[in-house]
Amino acid sequence: MAKMTMVDALNTALRQEMEKDDTVVVLGEDVAVDGGVFRVTDGLLEAFGEERVMDTPLAEAGIVGTSIGMAISGLRPVCEIQFSGFSYLAFEQLEAHAARMRWRTRGAYTVPMVLRTPYSGGVRALEHHSESREAYWAHTPGLKMVIPSAPRNARALLVSAIRDPDPVVFYEPKAIYRAFREEVPEDEETWPLGKARVVREGGDITLISYGAMMRPTLEAADKLEDEDGVEAEVIDILTISPLDHETFAESVKKTGRVVIVHEAPRSFGPGAEIIARLVEKSFWYLEAPIRRVTGYDVVIPLFAYEKAYLPSADRVLRAARETLEVQA
């Protein structure tokens, strides 16, 4: 076991998969010599050479489009889009081709690729560097959408994503790239895609979140216990699509009360789908209206007001208390 940041953990996942499987290649802007602007791919060029670690021309559609071709040829490309705010240039390739090639050819050609990209706010960046648009990819049938929340699960999920037979969009919460360290096993570890995890057990209320928002959510859960004597169950979704509704449906049977936390804009966000599933499947267990603590339906402000936009532990706490006050 070694204590790692998320950046180290992701680097470990890439390095170990590349050692194990020489069809795994890495490509993107500044990923080779520079090791990625966040250093996630640091040292891979030296270890695996320029045929497997490619600094591409600066063109997002080109990166994703060529990755699709590589994947069809039998490689397992892991491409990086430097910031998720620049992935829209590749939207066409993901929506029209990566997501559909298996379906279109009835299984003859498949696209086992991973698109890694940093998302989320909180790093005092320029415009286009802070947004959370996971709903775009989760809405596209044929793609998988994964968001880790800590070093250990980031490593284990990235390994699973690389080995997955379908295209995976892998959002990395850059706000916590280096925010804390966690024990990560030396030996290979995989976590299944499409499976949420209960990270804290409790019977009074269910808090559902993912990615960088897990930290304020867990902080709120601690405060609920310390200040209110309330036992919150906290669920980390981990895979936005395919969404695992079983795990939160089970939890709601116990608690009857739910708060969903994400920094993506509220309307049509992942929270909306979670609520829809709960209403469809767990309606009779609900004891209070489900609340959402989310980003607002605005462009995430430049960093002077960024904090005001992002959900905080206090916002989660207030929403949880209001939910707990409702008498069925």
Partner 1 sequence: MPREVVDLPYQVEYLSILDQDGRVLDEDLEPDIPEDRLLRIHRTMLTARRFDERMLQLQRQGRIGTFAPVKGQEAAQLGIVAALRDSDWMVPSFREQAASLWRGQSMESFLLVYGGFYQGNELPEDTRNLPVAVPVGTQPLHAVGLSYGIRYQGSDDLVVTFFGDGATSEGEVHEAMNFAGVWQTPTIFVCQNNQYAISVPRTHQTQSKTLAQKALAYGVPGLMVDGNDVLAVYAAAEEAAERARSGEGPTMIECVTYRLTMHTTADDPSRYRDEEEVEKWERREPISRFQAYLKNRDLLSDEEIDEVEEEIQAQIQAAIDDAEARMEELEGESLTMFDHMYAEMPPYLQEQRDAFQAERQAQGEEEGSHG
Verify binding: residue 47, partner 1, rule CB under 8 A: no
Choose which of 34, 92, 297, 314 interacts with partner 1 (CB under 8 A): 92
Which tokens hold the place of 81?
A: 């889009």
Contacts (CB under 8 A) with partner 1, residues 122-161 = 141-142, 144
Verify binding: residue 19, partner 1, rule CB under 8 A: no
Q: CA–CA separation, 9 vs 46, rounded Å?
A: 18
Contact 304, 238 (CB under 8 A): no
Q: CA–CA separation, 128 vs 223, rounded Å?
A: 33
SS3 4: strand
Q: CA–CA separation, 134 vs 171, rounded Å?
A: 8
65-68 CB contacts, 8 Å cutoff, 24+ apart:
65/90, 65/93, 65/97, 66/27, 67/27, 67/98, 67/113, 67/115, 68/93, 68/97, 68/98, 68/101, 68/111, 68/113
Residue closer to partner 1 (CB basis): 5 or 117? 117
The verdict on whether 262 is a catalytic residue reads: no
Amino acid letter, residue 287: E
Residue closer to partner 1 (CB basis): 67 or 294? 67
Contacts (CB under 8 A) with partner 1, residues 21-40 = 25
Verify binding: residue 104, partner 1, rule CB under 8 A: yes
Please report how close the Cβ of residue 210 comes to partner 1 at its closest, in angstroms. Answer: 17
Instruction: Give all strands (DSSP E) within 57-190, no chain letters.
Output: 76-80, 114-119, 144-146, 168-173, 182-184
Choose which of 68, 115, 234, 275 interacts with partner 1 (CB under 8 A): 68
Verify binding: residue 103, partner 1, rule CB under 8 A: yes
Please report how close the Cβ of residue 69 comes to partner 1 at its closest, in angstroms. Answer: 2
Choose which of 1, 2, 59, 299 interacts with partner 1 (CB under 8 A): 59
Which tokens hold the place of 179?
A: 């925010």
Residue closer to partner 1 (CB basis): 65 or 151? 65
Sheet holding 258-265, edge to edge: 197-200, 232-236, 205-209, 258-265, 291-295
Q: Which of 97, 129, 245, 262 is catalytic?
A: 129
Choose which of 6, 87, 97, 148 interacts with partner 1 (CB under 8 A): 97
Residue positions annotated with a catalytic role: 129
Residues of this chain that interact with partner 1 (CB under 8 A) are 25, 51, 54, 56-57, 59, 61-62, 64-75, 77, 92-93, 96-97, 102-110, 141-142, 144, 164-166, 194, 242-243, 245-246, 277
